[in-house]
Structure 1
Amino acid sequence: EVASPSYRLPISIPTSSHHASTMNCSLRSARRLSTVSNDSARLAISISELRSRIDKDLLRKCSPSDCHRLLREEWWLATFLLCYNNDVDVSLAVVTQCLKWRYNFQVEYIGLLSIKHLLDRKMMYIHGFDVERNPILWIRMREHTNGDRDTEKAFIFWIERHYMESRGAPISILIDMMGTTLVNLDYDLFKFILHSLKYYYPNCAQDLLVFESPSMLSASWKIIRTWIDLGHPQLTLVNRESIDQFIHPRFVPSHMGGEDPWEFTMEEIARCIPSRALNEEIIYENGMDKDEKMGAFPNKRSVKFESEDEETTRRTPLMIGAPTVRKPSKGPSSRRSMLPSSLRPLADRRVHAPSTDWGIDRFLSVCPRDELSLARLDESSNDLVDIVAVRNTSDRHLLFKIKTTSPEKFRVRPSGGRVAPGATEIVRVYLQNEYRSTGSREKFLLMALQHDSTNIEEFGELWNNTPQEWKAEHKLRCKIIDDDSSSNGSTPKERRREMGGGGSEMESIRQDLSTLSSNQKILGIVVVFLLLLQFMCILNERSNNASLRLAIETLANANKNTHEDI
């Protein structure tokens, strides 16, 4: 009985001797084979028990790929068991917390767009190998700002893809501290990295190297070392002279004193992510892995940031190497079902808004009427977003196209399309976060025409050749909703309600105001009545006091006369 091919036990199996004089060695080999068989059987039993004890309700929340790894593959559960000495109870607790974290952190839905600003600055990438032939994750800390949570997403983005594609293969992490100051050192980030490597990606990190740390940060590393225990990789400070003990100079960047002139670019991102096929079998050629050669990748893979179906890059797992195919529109109902959960309430309010919130122009209705309210609604992205509902109120098909004064600042999904009679199309407008300060000056123009053509690419020619009575235009201004909670004390959910307050909410507010006005009038009448009642009570009290005073004076005079007579 041997171990499952989906994971490898770190145990060597000796070969038997063919010499009769080595009987004792053969017996020792047999004992070792028996030990390997027992360990493999014990691990297989533990995997089966661990799999059966995972909460079924938790499994229903897992992504399809996580469910497949848990129920059909053995390597993932084996990494937890091997890390915790085959203790099923401890491993179950760690796996449960890991699955909850993956669900809450939305690990598989970290899109390239949410971390593109970090990738553009070459802050984090995978490239090269250490002396033990483990891939290296490079982190340039001078590109990090204390408190920037997108760095955590970028770290998980790379670790997740390496760990799952290579099935738990180790990786070395090098933190480049050149040019950093106290502003760049983030204790919370290091706590997150260490916690993730210990509990969510066990046995993943081989080494944690810190390159050229400034002397002013020496005390900080002493603090960080106190957080490291047996479940963490060893933290090692290296410099230009000692780095070759861990990484061969041909993989050390030239600016760090090495021989590697390679620089990370967005076009090379696919090459930085390991391929499972290449990791299943390592082939050595002239002392170098095929992985080390750029030609080992059969096809150059690329990532399209501006595909028409943006769910591919924003809310679905990144599939690098998959062909980019433009899918036909499935209609508004299908498109609404593909919306991120954070945008669906706003889309529903737009679609069901009262007529007062719609801009109506013959066969075209648009909501909002005249102003886009752009705000951050998706916690996984810093971009600002709003929803536009385009409704066809005629009995003919409608083609539409959306244009803006600054296309480089916005992403519109879809920027054009075909709407069936009586149907409503949902359009998402994203403003990139770096342009939020100037976004309020921009405008949008929605152009629509009635036509039976299905080719939106011919919209410009169709627009020029269509009679004016079959065309419509609608203009929209931009308004930026500030998401700084310190300015108004509101929470993100409250800001989303404020921003997404479509027609139904406005109508509810109007009704509440009317009710409050009526109640105010009633309260005014009650207050006046109470004032009159109080005034009457005061008059009555004064009258009673006067009568009492008169009675007292009369009684006093009578007593005085009586004493005089006596």
Structure 2
Amino acid sequence: MSGSLIPTAEQIETLRDLFFKKLEREGTPFEDGLDARDINRIETSNLYLQKFLETYDLDMKQALKTLWDTCLWRKAYGTNDINEHNVNQQHLYSGIIFAYNRDIDGKTLLICKTKLHQKGKNDVDDLIRLLVYWVERLQREENYAQISLVFDMNSTGLSNMDMEFTKRIIETFKFYYPYILNYIIIFDMPWVLSAAFKIVKSLLPPKAVAKMKFVNQKTISDYVDESNALSCWGGKDNYVYSFVPENRKSEENRVNHNNNNYDLISQNGNESASLSARKASERRGKFAKRAFDRNVHFANSSPPDSPMSDTAQSTSTDRNEAELLRITPDDAIVFMKTGNELVGTVEIMNISYSDVTYKIKTTSPEKFRVRPSSGCLSHGASTTINVVLQQGQSLSTLNKDKFLVMAMPLSAEDAGNTQAIAELWKNTPTNSPSVEQRRLKCTLPHQMAPGDGLKNGRVNSGSYSNVIDSDRQFTSMLSQLTETTSRLENQIKFSQSLQWITLTVFMLLSMAVVYILKQEINQSGACHSEF
């Protein structure tokens, strides 16, 4: 990274120590702790920690905060478990987001074809999940090297411009991958969308704004060599997108490289390699080998024989090969601020070879609105469950609430038959071996303490108010942009209608003139014939 301050081995080790001390001192909202793969990465990869320090110009406090928040997000979002099989297959093979070729600095291009996105038709959550898949894959393949994000806006119109999607992309890179962008290349942006990108700039930190490059066919060669530029950009590459599965062996090579890199930096620093190794061993014993325990504790008010109680048997505790559903996140619902509501999302996917019916229960049905609370999934299908905390509910007891996801296999004749499915659930005991049960607890993100949250839709106090103020500011700007673009779109439609009316009137007048002239010519010819 040009112009960045390079951290020393001691600074990297300090960041690592601060992270593990914070983890030991404060713990996490998750009963089984952070993802062991993230813990291992922080433990073994100096390069990964170096990226955070470089991004914030060696500001240790900011680097630690971002690293911590990133690990919490990765755990809650299930980032390490995202792969080519559990993202939206239609989006994956459509080429709306894909990686191909490199910029002039040798960084991989992550291309977003905005014309393929239709606001209101494509699910933004699915698109962000696909984006995360490509970013994670490139990090594995390129060993945390930077990438250049390309917004290909050729043939993009107002119907393709989705500010919610754009905001989510920005937030993903800004908060969880702040180190990864080399350039943000906006190709062939229509002038009608210039107002939208003024708002986009306001959401980015100064460093990211400096990386934004607006290009067209004449200027894209400043950032992407002509031989690497797609033909639709005016380049020489006639590539047509076709998805290529990932070779996950590259991840093993990267881990080995990181381990070697850790030893090399430790030996070159003032701190001896033996001391670093000893610290690493101590930390691994505390954090890297936490046992995975799916048997979370439920509220005491649950009846002893209830499926929500501690003693209820679960057919999926061991996550064996007979598992029906893959649930993301798999142990906790993280409630995030959306408008004036707190909303948690859970994605479930049918990974069995038959149709599956599912049902969601909670210890506090009066507190939550769950949509959908039941349904059916065919083989390989997935759906997102939205859990909304009802207005007026306190956050102080949220961590005591639990959810139960139950699933049963369906026969071919029962699939789609709502009455048969209802009878099946009615006649099948909840502790039946055929019912798979998965328990989820409720939690809040690190930035939001229970006492600083919402009640009756209003903000009380605390650092979370900054996030809400930011949301209000964005909502205001988005509202202004929506009004402006709506007026512009109406003006364009009016102008088009006026042009059609003018053209129609002109054609009618032309036909009338031709008809009148023809009649006069005929009459003149008749007069001459009489004489």
With structure 1 as the length reference, what TM-score do the two structures score? 0.46
Ranked by relative contact order (alpha carbons within 8 Å, sequence separation 6 or more), the top structure is 2
